[in-house]
Structure 1
Amino acid sequence: MSEEQRRDNSVLTSMIHRITRGPVQWWHTAVIGVLSDKCDESTLGILSEQAEALGRIGFDAVVVEPSHSGVVWDSSSSLSSFISRAHDFGLRVIVRLAGVSFRFLATSDFSNEDDITTLIGRVRASLEAGADGIDLGILGLNDASLTAQQQTAGHARLTRLTGVLLAEIEAANSSAILVASTGYTDADMLRTALEDNWFHHLRDSVCSSTPWDADRIIAAIRASLRPRDPIGAITPWSWTSSTEMNEDEADLASSRQLLSLALPGASYNSETARAIEEGDSGPIPEALRIRRERRMGAGSLGIVTGLPWACHGVVVLICAGVTIVVNTSGQTVDVPREHALLVSSQPAGLGRAGATLLPANSCAWFETAPVRPPKPRSYE
């Protein structure tokens, strides 16, 4: 066998993210459920029931968005009671501020003092209600209607504002966090935003806009890690889907969800209703248990290529000793029995010689098979 043939037949694991050793802050690895319904006084009770269910399933935190600012401001608001109950369920609560727009930072005629004073007041009120984090929503400073000069001015003012908000949060609750979404798909703009502003989680749209395609998924994962890892920023994975889905789309959403839970960093999950409906019968509780026990949120991440059973359209990753197989192809994949199945987004079958039959458009986690040296004849 020639040297070139040996290279072509070899299995290669490319590490793209290092393990984090020792204790970590809660937000480094949190699995966060995004409650889809905006809350007011009449719906906080229903959301409390949803939060309790998510706590039982194994989520770490929830994002709740008041439908109007009065839910935060009013002294009689039951938001603090909701947060207290969520804490009893073992959940932290991130409050997303309703109706906040940061375009005013980019315009030349904004009332800086009034707008910022109002924002700081809402942040303080949320923290006084017991919030464990503040979500500013989409920053929106890359709007095409803004000139380059306005965008530059807006980003500079945002940097100053972020420092003020972080000081407020630190004074109220040293473990609370500040998060936001950029909406950026441009790598340079995302890198600049990460370097200039300290957010505990700065979400982007790289993964949520990624088609279900093996090469595009790998590229999206790399693109999310690349600007964050060098500066020690946590990657908050966010794979969203439509609220109205047919059966095939729902299966695909479940696969995306399981993939996001397999990656190191935090995970924002918008499929909370499905997770609650499935309960213990679905894959999420088991996935969350494995993620927690194996410390996958703080684990290293590698991409495996060259496996003879992984056809075109199949992504194979390794995180914290767990092999993640993402089948974006249109055919069933036979995963050898050496890889014991842990959890799958769709029911998997049993094939010849004990292989796991992984359906098309699914994601599954396996025990990583031990590495065996090649037979001597492979060196001939």
Structure 2
Amino acid sequence: MSKLSPPDAAPAPTQPAGTVVTTLVHRATRGQVEWWRRAVVLEFATPFDGPGFTALAREISYVARLGANSIQIHPAVDPGQAREEIAALVRRAHQRGVKVVISLAAHPGEAVAEDHLVGRAAAWLECGVDGLDIGMLPSTLDHPGSAALTSLGQLHALVAEGDAVISAAVSSHDMASVAEHLLEHWMHLTRDDRAAQVPWEAEAVRTTLSAAYAEREAAGAVAAWTLTRLGGAPWGLGDGDEVAARRRRAATLLMMGIPGSIYLRHGEGVGLIPRAESAVGAIEEVAEAVRIQRGEAGSRYERLRRALRLREEFALATGPLAWVGDAPGSSTLALLTRDLLVLTNFSSETIVVPSDRRVLEASDDLPPSSPGEVILPGDTTVWLALT
């Protein structure tokens, strides 16, 4: 591709020949960055009991090795029913540099029950957890209030006593509610599922991401991305045939390359959705897949692990974002962040990208190419080094 302008700089009105016009969407974060602003949250969907906490404490190493810096758990018990098991998990997770966030909702996609909400939150914080997730926020049009929002001030007071965080989810089916929650109900992280709902088209994704950054910057909110559909199907893009799975891999690598925190489902690191109904079974199923894939070049685990390592190395979570104006083909999205060029081919056709840039990572294997070009198959994302 032609000479690229720095992503932190606005394009000049007149560009010299050979210079690519870029459109700055998001500026880099400056200064000290708290962990939640660059979070990689591994979300466990299966409700946890005491044995589940013990099993995860035993296998927490695969979470840390993957590159996740936090886990989100949906407990099926109160802290007093499994205090020793919870303490052991928190201790082991902290030893591996992993934060523990407890969902006050019993299942993903649910709102928080009203019963003793603040008391339960305080009990979890006493166990040493690093965050509280208050679940799905209601539509402000249909349900202007909820137990979690009514108690939000008290929850903020609780976490302010330490360094814990509050997070929540809101469905993008009601974009007015997303905007209102961001403006009126500040939390450390508020994730929405627009990345899982947007059509698989380059222009649609570009428009959606641009709008998301504009809304969040107006509210002073960190971007928080997930490919999990909220309030609907249990998981998002890629739970069907191989085409859908390939698109999910491409979408995941694209999501990892843009600023903000990201949520990954448990099993994403090995390319599966655990079938076990118990937390113990799901953890053991994924742990076994990790043991098989670990060290295997090109495996889903090693590919994702490398991408997360590069994400941390390049500080992509707090980087800038600029769209590149001459993407190779109308179905290709091109963006700049830090020293990376990220390309996603949303079509089913293979394209040839004129570039002598080094390939750092790709969502699937790339065909061999001649010098000065990169062959990008359909439904694939690639990261190219700019330096």
TMscore range, shorter length: 0.7 to 0.9
Match of 1:93 in 2: 100
Structure 2 residue 77 is matched with structure 1 residue 69: yes
Q: Deviations over 1:32-80 (max 9, x none)?
A: 11123221122223333553202012111111111x233x232645122
Structure 2 counterpart of 1:210, one-letter code? V
> TM-score, normalised to structure 1's length?
0.81
Q: CA deviation at 1:141?
A: 3.8
Query: Is the Cα–Cα contact under 8 Å of residues 39 and 47 in structure 1 kept in the other structure?
Result: no
CA 209–50 in structure 1, closer or farther in 2 if over 3 Å, else same: farther
Alignment check: 8 A CA contact 2:136 2:168 kept: yes
C-alpha change, 1:242 and 1:213, in structure 2 (3 Å) is closer
Q: Distance in 2 between matches of 1:57 and 1:138?
A: 27
**Does 282-291 or 20-29 show the bigger shift?**
282-291
The one of 166, 179, 185 aligned to 1:191: 179
Secondary structure at the counterpart of residue 151 of structure 2: helix
Q: Decide whether the 8 Å contact of 1:28 with 1:234 is kept in 2.
A: yes
**Which residue matches 1:360?**
378
Deviates more, 1:334-343 or 1:95-104: 95-104
Residue 65 of structure 1 aligns with an amino acid whose one-letter code is H
**Structure 2 unaligned runs (5+)?**
1-14, 229-235, 271-285
CA deviations on 1:194-247 (whole Å, 9 max, x unpaired) are: 111111111112112122211111122112211111232101011133685443
Give 1:235's aligned residue: 223
What's the CA shift string for 1:340-376, capped at 9, x where partnerless? Answer: 100001001222334221211011111127xxxxxxx
Opposite residue 138 of structure 2, the aligned amino acid is: G
Amino acid of the structure 2 residue aligned with 1:90: G
Aligned to 2:130: 132
CA distances 1:301-321 after superposition (whole Å, capped 9, x unpaired)? 0011224xx112100011112
* Aligned residue number for residue 321 of structure 1: 339
1:270-295 CA distance string (max 9 Å, x none): 15344464445432121112111111
The DSSP-based 3-state class of the residue aligned with 1:343 is: strand
Root-mean-square deviation over aligned CA pairs? 2.6
Give 1 or 2: higher helix fraction.
1
Partner amino acid, structure 2, of 1:349? P
Q: Distance in 1 between matches of 2:374 and 2:306?
A: 18
Write the mapping of 1:246-261 to structure 2, written as runs, cut at 5 A: 246-261=241-256
Q: Which residue of the other structure, out of 350, 362, 365, is the alignment partner of 2:368?
A: 350
Alignment-mate amino acid for residue 269 of structure 1? L
| Structure 2 residue aligned with 1:79 | 86
In the TM superposition, what are the counterparts of 1:283-302 in structure 2 within 5 Å?
Answer: 283-302=303-322
Question: CA 1:50–1:103 in 2, change beyond 3 Å: closer, same or farther?
Answer: closer
Distance 2:111 2:252 in 1: 30
Q: How many Å separate the matches in 2 of 1:311 and 1:8? A: 20
- CA–CA separation in structure 2 for the residues paired with 1:210 and 1:305: 21
1:334: how far off?
Answer: 1.8
> Which of 204, 214, 237 is residue 202 of structure 2 equivalent to?
214
Q: Which amino acid aligns with 1:168?
A: L
Residue identity opposite 1:38 in structure 2: P
Partner residue of 1:3?
none
Residue correspondences, number: 339
C-alpha distance in structure 2 between counterparts of 1:261 and 1:279, whole Å:
20
Q: 1:206 touches 1:223 (CA, 8 Å); kept in 2?
A: no
> Does structure 2 retain, via aligned residues, the 8 Å contact 1:34–1:272?
no
CA shift digits 1:120-175 (9 cap, x unpaired): 111111111111110111123458xx4xxxx34x17x765521110101112x22x
Gaps of 5+ in 1: 1-5, 105-114, 370-380
- State whether residues 263 and 296 of structure 1, in contact with CA within 8 Å, keep that contact through their aligned partners in structure 2: yes
1:9 CA displacement: 8.4
Distance 1:223 1:213 in 2: 16
State the match for 1:110 in structure 2: none
Q: Which residue of 2 aligns with 1:335?
A: 353
291 and 167 in structure 1: CA distance in 2 versus 1, 3 angstrom threshold: same
- Tell me which moved more, 283-292 or 43-52: 43-52
- What is the TM-score normalised by the length of structure 2? 0.80
Instruction: For residues 256-281 of structure 1, give each alpha carbon's deviation from its aligned partner in whole angstroms, at most 9, with x where no partner exists.
Output: 11111111110111153444644454
How does 1:8-87 map onto structure 2 within 5 Å?
11-66=20-75, 68-70=76-78, 72-74=79-81, 76-87=83-94
Task: State the distance in 1 between where 2:92 and 2:269 align.
Answer: 22
CA distance in 2, matches of 1:326, 1:243: 16
Aligned to 1:265: 260
Moved over 6 A (4+): 6-10
Identity across matched positions, percent: 25
1:109-188 alignment to 2 at 5 Å?
Answer: 115=114, 118-142=116-140, 146=142, 151-152=143-144, 154=145, 159-171=149-161, 173-174=162-163, 176-188=164-176
